[in-house]
């Protein structure tokens, strides 16, 4: 990689770091669609519904840089290098990420790197799985008098030296966990050890907002067993709001576009 540029005004290409939404292709924003139509190069992730790539123009270069569990994938440094090199060639590059790019999406890191090289960028927020996935499962994150707020954590519990304050987390009314399937037994145990009732309702939603949406609900005590067969991506909701699902289920996945079946399709 070349040395970072100091001469900011000289780069003719630019980059849009964009959210593709959580899976339902209709949850992409109008701004993202407009920019996809203009892009010369699109780098997209595993959790972007490939149906969205229909908006790209003929001749655009489409590159699947998704991190597929258990399969060789692009390293983050390589992705950043492509973004930079393509922009330096004068191209308009779209970096398309599932959900919102600034929510557990490394969008911030990529922007920092672009800034270092003096490459102009814009950020297009997306509909995050944090709220969209429970909404499609009929679970409101807040409810007056029951849940006046919610807390979101990553299920990657052992990142560096950081550790969660389980006592504090046990007292929040609604807890949303992303990337938490593997650590669900540990999360459940830690919350119960810190005073959360074992009867607290929990829902695990796999492939939310898509035709493949699958939901299992239970309690802190039994959810790890009940969701043992689930695979990523899944969002976990812990709290009394989960009970509303019994009355608020509205989404019928069978009427929607499949996503899991198309994931391996990589456009070129
Ligand atoms: C690396 S994080 C990216 C989050 C994304 N930037 C967002 O705003 O939704 C990936 C995690 O998001 C959650 N997720 C994303 N799409 C999902 C979906 N369709 N159904 C359930 N969970 C989803 C899962 O917890 C998954 O492991």
202 C-alpha to ligand 1 centroid (Å): 17
Residue nearest to atom 25 of ligand 1 (CA): 178
The arithmetic mean of pLDDT across residues 151-165, rounded, is 88
Least confident of 115-124, 157-166, 184-193: 157-166
Query: Tokens 């779209």, residue?
Result: 94
User: What does the pLDDT read at residue 16?
Assistant: 98
Cβ-count burial 24-43 (b if 16+ within 10 Å, e if not): bbebbbeebeebbeebbbbb
> How much is the mean pLDDT over the chain?
91
d(CA 207, CA 211): 8
Residue 102 predicted with pLDDT over 90: yes
Give 143's DSSP letter. Answer: B
CB 236 within 8 A of CB 203: yes
CB 83 within 8 A of CB 93: yes
User: What does the pLDDT read at residue 67?
Assistant: 74
233 C-alpha to ligand 1 centroid (Å): 6
Determine the atom of ligand 1 nearest the C-alpha atom of 178. 25
CB 119 within 8 A of CB 13: yes
Nearest Cα residue to 63 out of 36, 38, 95: 95
Q: What is residue 243's three-state secondary structure?
A: helix
In tens, the pLDDT along 7-46 reads 455 778 999 999 999 999 999 999 999 999 999 999 999 9
Residue 265 predicted with pLDDT over 50: no
Which token pair is 218? Answer: 């239970």
Q: What domains, with CATH codes, occur in the chain?
A: 8-127 (3.40.1010.10), 130-253 (3.30.950.10)
């Amino acid at each position: 990689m070349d040395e970072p540029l100091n001469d900011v005004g000289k780069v003719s290409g630019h980059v849009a770091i964009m959210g593709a939404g959580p899976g339902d292709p209709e949850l992409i924003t109008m701004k993202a669609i407009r920019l996809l139509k203009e892009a010369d190069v699109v780098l997209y992730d595993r959790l972007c519904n490939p149906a969205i790539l229909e908006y790209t123009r003929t001749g655009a270069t489409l590159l699947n840089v998704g991190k597929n569990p258990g399969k060789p994938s692009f390293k983050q440094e390589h992705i950043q290098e492509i973004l930079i090199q393509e922009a330096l060639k004068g191209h308009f590059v779209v970096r398309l990420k599932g959900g919102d790019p600034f929510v557990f999406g490394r969008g911030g890191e990529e922007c920092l790197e672009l800034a270092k090289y003096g490459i102009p960028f814009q950020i297009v927020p997306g509909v995050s799985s944090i709220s969209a996935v429970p909404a499609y499962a009929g679970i409101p994150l807040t409810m007056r008098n029951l849940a006046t707020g919610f807390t979101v954590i990553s299920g990657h519990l052992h990142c560096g030296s950081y550790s969660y304050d389980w006592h504090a987390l046990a007292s929040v009314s609604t807890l949303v966990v992303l990337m938490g399937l593997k650590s669900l037994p540990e999360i459940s145990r830690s919350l119960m050890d810190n005073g959360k009732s074992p009867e607290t309702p929990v829902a695990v939603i796999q492939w939310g907002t898509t035709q493949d949406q699958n939901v299992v609900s239970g309690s802190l005590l039994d959810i790890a067993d009940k969701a043992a067969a689930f695979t990523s991506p899944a969002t976990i909701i812990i709290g009394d709001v989960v009970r509303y699902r019994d009355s608020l289920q509205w989404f019928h996945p069978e009427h929607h576009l499949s996503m899991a079946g198309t994931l391996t399709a990589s456009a070129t």
